[in-house]
Amino acid sequence: KAGVTQTPRYLIKTRGQQVTLSCSPISGHRSVSWYQQTPGQGLQFLFEYFSETQRNKGNFPGRFSGRQFSNSRSEMNVSTLELGDSALYLCASTQGSQGETQYFGPGTRLLVL
């Protein structure tokens, strides 16, 4: 099976812009989770989508949003970008049950100037 794919791999934006990142889960996986990784804060959970519904959410401002499509692909959007949003954004997929292993994609590295 193909793994989790994320596009684009690298992105440069300026403050105030918005950005959309995409994640395609492993075939058959219905849950997609998003994480932000920064040197200062480490890995932090953003949100999780299952069957097109947000099921869990981390402690991030409303500028961070996401959605999931009927084919389980997910997008994450960040509006009004700030310098501190520069990070590696990782998505992970599972079939959606309790305690399952999350399989991670390679990430999208976002640089905000």
Partner 1 sequence: AQSVTQLGSHVSVSEGALVLLRCNYSSSVPPYLFWYVQYPNQGLQLLLKYTSAATLVKGINGFEAEFKKSETSFHLTKPSAHMSDAAEYFCAVTGYSGGGADGLTFGKGTHLIIQP
Structure tokens of 28? Answer: 């058959």
Closest approach of partner 1 to the CB of residue 55, in Å? 5
- Nearer of residues 78 and 90 to partner 1, judged by Cβ: 90
- Nearer of residues 43 and 111 to partner 1, judged by Cβ: 43
Closest approach of partner 1 to the CB of residue 80, in Å? 24
What's the N-to-C CA distance of the chain in angstroms? 37
Cα separations in angstroms, 38 against 42, 88, 96: 5, 7, 26
Structure tokens of 90? Answer: 């990782």
What is the binding site for partner 1 (CB under 8 A)? Answer: 4, 31, 33, 35, 42-48, 50, 55-56, 58, 90, 92, 94, 96-107
- Nearer of residues 9 and 16 to partner 1, judged by Cβ: 9
Can you tell me whether residue 93 is helix, strand or coil? strand
